[in-house]
Structure 1
Amino acid sequence: MVRLALPATIVPALGCDAVGVPARYGFRLLARLPRNGCVFADADWWWWIVPAGSDQELTWPLPAHYAEGAYVPAHRPRLIHWPDDDSPYTPPIPLYLMACQLTGTAPLWRVGVSGRA
C-alpha cells in the first residue's frame, strides 16, 4: 500500500480519499468527466482524488476500488493529470455515475445509511 502524494502546492482542504479503476477504463473516464482533479496511474490502475467521505451512501461498482486516506494498492503510481486550479478533487458523483456506466452497473445509493462508526 502506498499513499498518493499530492503536489506540495495543492492543499486538500476536505481530506483525501481515492477512487481507482482498472487502467482499461482510465482514458475513457478522464475524457468524459466534466472536471478532473489529480489523477494518478500505474500499469494496472488509475486513481482519482476525491474528498474524504465520498463513499458515504454510495456503493462503488466493482471493479472500482475506494481507498480511504488515498492509501492504494499500487506499484509506483505517478501523477498523470494536474488540475487546472488549486483543487485536487474530482467531483465524486460524476465519477461514480461514469464508473457505473462503464462497468454496466446501476447506481445504488444507501439513503440514510452510513458505513462509518
Structure 2
Amino acid sequence: MPVPPGLSAPLGCDAVGLPARHGFRMMAHLSRPGCVFADADWWWWIVPAESDLGLVWPQPARYVPGAYVPATRPRLIHSPEGGAPYTPPIPLYLMVCRVAGTAPAWSTVPRQGS
C-alpha cells in the first residue's frame, strides 16, 4: 500500500489487517490512527516496520511486513493529521487483543538475527 504524498515514513511500513466488520469499532477507540486502507473484506492500519517485534498479533488479525497486502487493492479511507502515516502499534495491538478476546502477550526474547 503506498504512503500518500506529503507523508514521510522514515521507520519503514508494515500493515496490520482486521476483517472489515471490526473496522469502525477499531477507529472509534484509537486516539491517533494513521493511514487506514480498506476494501470490502479487510481494513489495514499502517504501523512502523517491525511492530511485530516481541508481539504475537492474535487471530483474526494479519500482520504484513512491508505493507504488501495480498490480492486486493484497498483504498485509503483515513489520513493522519500529522506528517507520518503510522498508527501507534501498542494501542492498536491492545485493541486487536480486545477484539480477539485474548490477553496481550509480550515477549522479551529477541527475534533471531536481531
Which category describes the TM-score, using the shorter chain as reference length?
over 0.9
Task: Name the structure 2 match of 1:27.
Answer: 24
Higher mean displacement: 107-116 or 79-88: 107-116
Give, in angstroms, the shift of residue 112 of structure 1. 2.2
Instruction: Note the aligned Cα RMSD (angstroms).
Output: 1.2
Tell me the CA shift for residue 11 of structure 1. Answer: 1.3
Match of 2:87 in 1: 90
Q: Which residue of 1 aligns with 2:61?
A: 64
Residue of 4, 11, 25 corresponding to 1:14? 11
For 2:38, give the aligned amino acid.
A
For normalisation by structure 2, the TM-score amounts to 0.95
The runs of 5 or more residues in structure 2 that have no matched partner are: none
- Whether 1:100 aligns to 2:77 is no
Pairwise CA distance, 1:66: 0.3
Q: Percent identity?
A: 62
Q: Where does residue 5 of structure 1 map in the other structure? A: 2
Equivalences, count = 114
Q: Which runs of 5 or more residues in structure 1 are unaligned? A: none
Q: Which amino acid in the other structure matches residue 85 of structure 1?
A: G
- Written as runs of structure 1 = structure 2, the 5 A alignment for 1:18-57 is 18-57=15-54
Matched letter for residue 103 of structure 2 = A
Partners of 2:10 and 2:16 in 1: how far apart?
A: 18
Is the partner of 2:63 in helix, strand or coil?
strand
Give the aligned residue type for 2:72: H
State the distance in 2 between where 1:81 and 1:14 align. 20
The C-alpha deviation readout for 1:51-101, integer Å capped at 9, x for no partner, is: 001000000010100000000124220000010111100000000000000
Tell me: CA distance 1:13–1:43, structure 2 relative to 1, closer, same or farther (3 Å): same
* Partner SS state of residue 72, structure 1: coil
Whether the 8 Å CA contact 1:56–1:115 is kept in 2: the answer is no
